[in-house]
């Protein structure tokens, strides 16, 4: 039995429509009913939100269509839309078996094929969202071997406790408001903690070196001060000896008597020196006035050159500012692109080919406008 599982469409709130390449794969004969004769059952994991045309497209893929309630679905509205689709088919073909279609939107559903029991749910009731242990508990509660859930917009497939867990992702690639995974945040926090430890050790070493340098400098200053004190004492003693010698020397007395005459000569020399300084000052002022006059009488070519130089510098500054603004704008666009990539999912859906106790899972993803298929096999023990 080939079962199509998909969900999290969010049309038209977060996506316009199912990708056209997916539509061609799922509905190779859109004029016929069913539009795909190979698919036995279609199960939608909810969050269609409000798109009757998309609901009809999914309903017409296979004779058997089932839908579980999504977090953002209004079960009353979706039930009414589904009833209208069923009525239109009844009018076209009264012989059609419609017993598999439910007008009541359940929280989860279960199908049994051969030795496998497969459960379907949106998964928004799982807290934390997508937690493997909580999903394992739900699988045991539903008594299923395979549990297909949605709500995270990310493709997943893994085995836990001998049960197979599948998330088909979002078929439209609708963006998600969920936070990044907790494991990634813990790794980042651990990395930051290691950096903090390294920074702390480096700071401690730097502080230790600073303390040693300060202590060394203090000791050097004290030694220098003591040496200067000893030198000063020796100089004072030498000066006292010289003064005592001068007192006893008769020549010193003669020099003292001639001191008054020397002072008169010095006064005359000082007045001559003052007049020379005034002349130099006047000459300096005249020179400055002359230079100022020459500057004011610069040729017109030099003035134009100065103006051009000022314009060139202004243009360079303006170009630098424009470059800085462009660089900041590019960084903002890059950051916005990274945030968009984090919050945008890759369009995907899954097909379950179950027979006996084996389920072959085909994962379809749309990447770079190319459809890629991965295969995973699960065998019940």
pLDDT tens, 212-227?
665 665 556 556 555 5
Q: Report d(CA 150, CA 124) in Å as an integer.
A: 8
- The answer on 375 and 317 residing in a single domain is no
pLDDT tier, 47 (very low <50, low <70, confident <90, very high otherwise): very high
- Give the angle subtended at the CA of 88 by the CAs of 85 and 94, to the nearest 5°: 120
Tracing tokens 């903090």 back to the chain, one arrives at 196
Q: Are residues 77 and 42 in the same domain?
A: yes
The domain in which residue 325 lies consists of: 311-343
Non-local (6+) Cβ contacts of 33 within 8 A are 60, 89, 92, 93
* Measured distance CA(241)–CA(222) in Å, rounded: 29
Q: For residue range 249-282, what is the model confidence (pLDDT) as tens digits?
A: 444 444 444 555 555 555 555 555 557 777 787 7
Same domain, 337 and 350: no
Following CA atoms 182, 188, 194, 196 in sequence, which dihedral angle do they give, to the nearest 10 degrees? -110
CA dihedral 149, 151, 153, 157 (to 10 degrees): -20
Q: Is 190 among the domain residues?
A: no
CA distance 183 to 52: 39
Cα–Cα distance between 105 and 206 in angstroms, integer? 68
pLDDT per residue as tens digits for the range 91-109:
876 654 444 445 789 999 9
Judge whether 66 and 41 are in contact, CB under 8 Å: yes
Pairwise pLDDT comparison (341 vs 288), residue with the higher score: 288
> Does residue 370 or residue 226 have the better pLDDT?
370
Query: For position 220, what pLDDT does the model report?
Result: 60
User: Using an 8 Å Cβ cutoff, are 59 and 30 in contact?
Assistant: no
Query: Do 374 and 322 have their domain in common?
Result: no
The pLDDT assigned to 203 comes to 58
Classify residue 159: in a domain, yes or no.
no
CATH number at 50 reads 3.60.21.10
Across the range 347-364, mean pLDDT stands at: 95
Confidence of residue 290 (pLDDT cuts 50, 70, 90): confident
pLDDT of residue 64: 93
Asked if residue 306 belongs to a domain, the reply is: no
Cα torsion at 297, 298, 301, 304 (round to 10°)?
-100
Residue 322 sits in the same domain as residue 359: no
Q: In this model, does residue 49 exceed pLDDT 90?
A: no
Residues 327 and 368 in one domain: no
Q: Report if residue 261 sits inside a domain.
A: no
> Do 351 and 320 share a structural domain?
no
Is the distance from CB of 327 to CB of 319 less than 8 angstroms? no
Cis link prior to 128 (omega < 30° from 0)?
A: yes
Residues 364 and 323 in one domain: no
339 and 349 together in one domain = no
Instruction: Tell whether 333 and 350 lie within a shared domain.
Output: no
197 in any annotated domain: no
pTM score of the predicted model: 0.59
Sheet containing 116-121: which strands, arranged edge to edge?
108-113, 116-121, 146-149, 163-168, 155-160
The backbone torsions φ and ψ at residue 327, rounded to the nearest 5 degrees and listed phi first, read -65, -45
* Distance, CA of 215 to CA of 198 (rounded, Å): 26
350 and 324 co-located in one domain: no
What is the 3-state composition of the chain as percent helix, strand, coil, each rounded to the nearest 5? 55, 20, 30
Q: What pLDDT, on a 0 to 100 scale, did the predictor assign at position 208?
A: 61
64, 95: one domain: yes
Q: Is residue 286 part of a domain?
A: no
Domains of the chain: total:
2
Instruction: Please give the Cα distance from 158 to 115 (Å, whole number).
Output: 19
Task: For residue 355, tell me if it sits in a domain.
Answer: yes
326 part of a folded domain: yes
CA atoms within 13 A on the CB side of 62: 19
pLDDT tier, 308 (very low <50, low <70, confident <90, very high otherwise): confident
């Amino acid at each position: 039995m080939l079962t199509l599982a998909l969900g999290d469409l969010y049309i038209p709130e977060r996506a316009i429509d199912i990708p056209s390449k997916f539509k061609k794969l799922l509905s190779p004969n859109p004029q016929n009913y069913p539009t795909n004769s190979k698919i036995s059952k279609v199960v939608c994991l909810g969050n269609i939100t409000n798109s009757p045309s998309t609901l009809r497209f999914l309903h017409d893929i296979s004779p058997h269509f089932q839908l579980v309630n999504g977090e953002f679905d209004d079960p009353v509205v979706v039930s009414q839309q589904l009833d209208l689709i069923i009525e239109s088919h009844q009018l076209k073909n009264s012989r059609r078996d419609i017993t598999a279609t439910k007008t009541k939107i359940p929280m989860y559903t279960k199908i049994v094929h051969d030795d496998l029991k497969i459960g379907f749910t949106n998964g928004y009731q799982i807290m934390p969202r997508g937690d493997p242990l909580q999903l394992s508990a739900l699988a045991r509660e539903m008594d299923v071997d395979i549990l297909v859930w949605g709500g995270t917009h990310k493709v997943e497939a893994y085995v836990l406790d001998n049960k197979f867990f599948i998330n088909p992702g979002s078929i439209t690639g609708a963006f998600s408001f969920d936070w990044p995974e907790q494991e990634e945040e813990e790794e980042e926090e651990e990395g930051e903690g290691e950096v903090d430890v390294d920074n702390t050790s480096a700071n401690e070493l730097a502080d230790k070196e600073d303390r040693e340098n300060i202590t060394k400098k203090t000791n050097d200053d004290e030694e220098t001060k003591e040496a200067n004190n000893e030198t000063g004492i020796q100089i004072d003693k030498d000066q006292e000896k010289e003064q005592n010698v001068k007192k006893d020397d008769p020549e010193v007395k003669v020099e003292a008597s001639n001191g008054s005459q020397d002072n008169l000569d010095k006064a005359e020399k000082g007045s001559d020196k003052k007049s020379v300084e005034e002349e130099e000052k006047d000459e300096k002022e005249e020179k400055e006035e002359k230079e100022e006059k020459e500057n004011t009488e610069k040729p017109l070519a030099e003035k134009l050159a100065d103006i051009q130089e000022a314009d060139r510098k202004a243009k360079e500054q303006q170009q630098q500012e424009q470059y800085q603004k462009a660089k900041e704008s590019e960084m903002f666009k890059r950051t916005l692109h990274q945030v968009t990539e984090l919050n945008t999912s890759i369009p995907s859906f899954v097909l379950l080919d179950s027979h006996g106790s084996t389920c072959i899972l085909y994962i379809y993803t749309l990447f770079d406008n190319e459809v890629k298929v991965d295969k995973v096999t699960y065998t019940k023990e």
